């Protein structure tokens, strides 16, 4: 794994918000993420594609929906643990998590 794409994937605020939600919930579909982030589906899908290309997430199609989860490997998982622990002090990340709890899709 190359470090530059990995850190580039985490450098965008929207992608970091997506990663945080995936760290908290394990697996989410695009509809859950669009509801939680209050962003258009196209924006969320574009960021998920970047995260996939960076090697941070993996995707699985189930019918009409695509579900995403953190890629389980020796480089990514320790970083995700740091993000998960550090997120308690970030108001935006906590709002996203609250919105996810209310998602209706």
DSSP string, 29-76: EHHHHHHHHT--HHHHHHHHHHHHHHTSEEEEEETTEEEEEE--STTH
Q: According to the model, what pLDDT value does residue 6 have?
A: 82
Sequence-distant (≥ 6) Cβ neighbours of residue 64 within 8 angstroms: none
Domain count, the chain: 1
Q: Which domain holds residue 16?
A: 3-97
Residue pair 36/51 in contact (Cβ under 8 Å)? The answer is no
Residue 104 within a domain: no
Q: According to the model, what pLDDT value does residue 103 have?
A: 74
Residue 78 within a domain: yes
Residue 39 within a domain: yes
CATH of the domain at 18: 1.10.10.10
Residue 53 within a domain: yes
Residue 102 within a domain: no
In the chain (105 residues long), the average pLDDT of successive 10-residue segments reads 82 94 92 94 96 93 92 80 81 91 78
Sequence-distant (≥ 6) Cβ neighbours of residue 44 within 8 angstroms: 14, 18, 30, 33, 34, 37
């Amino acid at each position: 794994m190359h470090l530059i794409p990995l850190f580039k994937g985490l450098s965008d605020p929207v992608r970091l918000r997506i990663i945080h939600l995936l760290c908290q919930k394990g697996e989410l579909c695009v509809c859950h993420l669009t509801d939680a982030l209050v962003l258009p589906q196209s924006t969320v899908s574009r960021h998920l594609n970047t995260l996939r290309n960076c090697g941070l997430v993996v995707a699985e199609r189930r019918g009409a929906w695509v579900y995403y989860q953190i890629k389980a490997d020796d480089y990514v998982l320790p970083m995700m643990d740091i993000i998960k622990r550090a997120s308690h002090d970030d108001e935006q990340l906590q709002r996203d998590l609250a919105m996810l709890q209310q998602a209706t899709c």
